[in-house]
Amino acid sequence: MGDAAWIGDDGGRPTRRWLRRIGIILIVCLAVLLGAAAAIAFYAKSEIDDFVTPRSAAMRKAQRQLEAPLPGEPANILLLGSDHRKTDGGKAVGDDDQRSDTMLLVRLDPKRETISMLSLPRDLYVPIPGHGSSKINEAYHLGGPDLAVQTVKELTDLDINFVMNVDFQGFRGVVDKIGGIWVDSEHTFFNNQQDQTSDIDIKPGYQLMNGMDALAYSRYRHDSQGDFTRIARQQQVLDAFKAQFSQSFSAKRVPGLFQLLKDNTEVAAGGGDKLDYKVLYNYMRLALKLDRKDVYQVEYAGVSGTGPGGASIVEFEQAKLDTAVAAFLAPSAKAREQTADQLVGKAAPSADGTAADATDAADTAPKAPSAPDPSTVSVRVLNGSLTAGVARNMAEQLTQGGYKVDPEQTNADASSYTATKVQFATAADKPAAVALAKQIKGAVAVPKDDTNPFATQLLVIVGQTGQQYTAPAGGAGAGDPAAAADYAGNAVPDKTEANVSTDPGWAAQSFLETSSKRFPIEAPTVYERSSSVDEVYPYQIVKGGTVYDAYRMVAKTAEGEYWGLQGMSWANPPILADPTRTVLRGRRTYLLYFNGTKLHRVAWHDGTGTYWIANSPLDSLDNPTMLAIAYGVQPIG
């Protein structure tokens, strides 16, 4: 019955259901009088406890590791997308076969007014507390959300305030309920495995995806960059979901949206039943009001490798993760604006006379902890390679560097260590481990995993690479610069020339079958030097009963990454909301969209046409190259 259908039947007595429906009607009336925000608050006060109360024993166990969020302070959310597979017979298996297909950290920061996202590759090979080292998605398999939370906390040194568990069916249901999400697909995706978890058949171009296609798109990793591009797509899908959820929001649908999330997710909050509903309400308001340019996507800059048994893994390097975490905590709007200034000139002042998107002291990144004096750090050294004497040599080098080295050197549990590992006993010893690993080329700093017990602060397992220690030039105790500034997305890039070639006929032949009476067809005359045209796909978009002509040109670089040109007769697609910067050049006004300091999209309008150049999911084309390609797009004929 109308609005009551959004709530669903709670199974209570008829009188209770009747009162509940009357309550929902009153909420909607209240929204008309006082606005949507008041409606959320009124509804939240009565329903928030249900929303953040775990339903399963596994999530109640995980809740004990969460810290209560504080009013007005940033909150960290761990989003777990559980990979619930099927047997060959098509029957669902139990939790024993579940892994966290997605581990995504989301930070809502009311002080900076930003949202930042950091995905951890599912194949990241890390220490899992009590289980040695394995791919990080094994943590969920071995100990459910509780061990997943513990693993992430120990790797990142972050407090987690909320954990949200979403399975495949729940994800599809949420996306379908909000009417789908608008996604910019970079190329054709096709895989027919007939197992309902990896089937995909998606064409290139901007399009409305239903839940099944959005799930398949975000999970796909059969391309040149594997897990890394998949992570970028997952963040893109989450951003698109936020935009569509905000658009779908209305006071009338408040109860339904709450019920939708409750039906398809399970949430645990730090503080449990003592959590003030206003805290979560304020986080939701923040998430709904922020523009797309206030959403930052942070990447772990890992490299692929080979693990035990020849398994494909992503190598874990503590210093790289620390850099990504620092950027996650302190995304730099200032660096983004300075990058745009460098590329196209300073932004015009706003109406109050201040520079557009000015930032203040809140943009300053937190300082990385200083490395302790080596004379205060105790170290044990083991040989994890096939080369005799490397542990003794390393011990001598560290002794000369001022470290307190255990005089006994023996063999590690195995002689197959590829990279030298510097393990730290406690979180307090982590800065010392990171500092030491930086002075051993090829070494990585990692938490202890109990495979090789040690009583010192640090354990160095010498592998095939990383057998030479070099004392820091700054001397003992030299402090590191702010780790957040080391992250590429937080640093203004050096000025470079565009990596392009010019050829008016480069893509012309690929457009012979593409035409439209609704808008002019345009093609690049400038392109990234190594690229070739992969395909041009003409299609139509149907929105609210209106049909728009569209096409997508897909280009592929020598490294196997895809960028493209989108054209359409739709004047105001949602993706073009909230540009970072606009710039007038000739007769065109260009809209620039940055992801941190990387230019991800350049858009413009020509007559009845709307166009944009889209970077690859990993933003592999540098900023001057993106801009040069956009400037070089011209009408055909």
Tally of CB atoms within 10 A around 333: 23
pLDDT digits (tens, 9 = 90+) for 350-387: 444 444 443 443 454 444 456 688 989 999 999 999 99
Separation of alpha carbons 355 and 349, rounded Å: 4
Residue 109 confidence (pLDDT)? 93
Is residue 397 within a helix (H) or strand (E), and if so which, with residue range?
helix 390-400
587 has a pLDDT exceeding 90: yes
Q: What are phi and psi of 8, to 5 degrees?
A: 90, 165
The vertex-617 CA angle with 243 and 635, nearest 5°, equals 90
Look up tokens 């004096």; give the residue: 373
Instruction: Examine the pLDDT at 261 and tell me if it is beyond 90.
Output: no
Q: What mean pLDDT comes out for the span 11-28?
A: 43
The whole-angstrom separation of Cα 277 and Cα 417 is: 50
The answer to whether the CB of 550 falls within 8 A of the CB of 507 is no
Mean pLDDT of 145-162: 92
Give the global pTM. 0.69
CA quadruple 180, 232, 234, 329: dihedral positive or negative? Answer: negative
**Contact present, 235 and 229 (Cβ < 8 Å):** no
Q: What is the pLDDT of residues 333-347, one digit of tens each?
A: 888 899 999 999 887
Q: Is the pLDDT of residue 484 over 70?
A: no
pLDDT on residue 360: 43
Q: Which DSSP symbol is given to 204?
A: S
421 vs 472, higher pLDDT: 421
Distance CA 135, CA 119 (A): 14
- pLDDT bucket at 19, cuts 50 / 70 / 90: very low
CB-based contacts of 323: which residues, under 8 Å, 6+ apart? 301, 483, 484, 486, 487
Conformational region of residue 545, where left means phi above 0, alpha means psi within -120 to 50, and beta covers everything else: left
Tokens representing 223 are 């391309």
Task: Give the distance, in angstroms, between the CA of residue 517 and the centroid of all CA atoms in the same chain.
Answer: 40
pLDDT at position 293: 81
Distance CA 412, CA 464 (A): 13
Per-residue three-class SS string for 127-140: ECCCCCEEECCHHH
619: its two tokens: 């933003």
Residue with tokens 């959403």: 295
DSSP code of residue 560:
S
Contact yes or no for 470/439 (Cβ under 8 A): yes
For tokens 């308001």, the residue is 285
| pLDDT, tens only, 537-580 | 999 999 989 999 999 999 999 999 999 999 999 999 999 998 99
Q: Which residue has the tokens 């730090």?
A: 270
Q: Given pLDDT bands bounded at 50, 70 and 90, which one contains residue 42?
A: low
Could you tell me which residues come within 8 angstroms of residue 125 by beta carbon, excluding any fewer than 6 positions away? 133, 134, 135, 136, 305, 307, 313, 314, 315, 316
Average pLDDT over residues 154-161: 90
Contacts 24+ apart (CB under 8 A), 15-22: none
Q: What is the pLDDT of residue 84?
A: 53
DSSP code of 503?
A: -
C-alpha to C-alpha distance for 116 and 595, rounded to whole angstroms: 11
Q: Does the structure show a pLDDT above 70 at 486?
A: no
- Phi, psi (rounded to 5 degrees) for 561: -100, 150
pLDDT tens digits for 166-221? 877 777 888 888 889 999 999 898 877 655 456 788 999 999 999 899 888 888 77
Name the residue among 235, 196, 34, 31 with its Cα closest to residue 117. Answer: 235
Confidence band of 454 (pLDDT split at 50, 70, 90) = very high
pLDDT at 1: 38
Structure-token match 């970028």, residue found:
232
Buried b / exposed e along 588-623 (16+ C-beta atoms within 10 A): eebbbbbbbbbbbbbbbbbeebbbbbbbbbebbbbb
Structure tokens at 342: 């460098």
Highest mean pLDDT among 33-37, 84-88, 563-567: 563-567
| pLDDT value of residue 183 | 94
pLDDT of residue 287: 79
- What is the number of other CB atoms lying within 10 angstroms of the CB of residue 119? 26
Rounded to whole angstroms, the Cα distance separating 380 from 431 reads 17
pLDDT, average across residues 239-259: 69
**What are the percentages of helix, strand and coil residues in the chain, rounded to 5?**
35, 25, 40
Q: What pLDDT is recorded for position 441?
A: 78
- In this predicted structure, the answer to whether residue 438 has a pLDDT above a threshold of 60 is yes
How far is residue 182 from each of residues 89, 175, 207, 566, measured CA to CA in Å?
Answer: 34, 11, 6, 14
Per-residue buried b or exposed e for 507-539, using 16+ beta carbons within 10 Å of the residue's own CB: beebbeebebeebbbbbbbbbbeebebbebbbe
pLDDT given at position 335: 87
Torsion of CA 318, 321, 325, 326, to 10 degrees: 70
Amino acid at the residue 615: N
What does the pLDDT read at residue 635? 95
Question: Which three-class secondary structure state does DSSP give residue 568?
Answer: strand
According to DSSP, the β-strands at 295-298 and 114-119 are parallel
Buried b (16+ CB within 10 A) or exposed e, 33-54: eeebeebbbbbbeebbeebbbb
Q: How far is CA 180 from CA 168, 381, 482, in A?
A: 15, 55, 41
Question: How high is the mean pLDDT of the chain?
Answer: 80
Supply the pLDDT for residue 232. 76
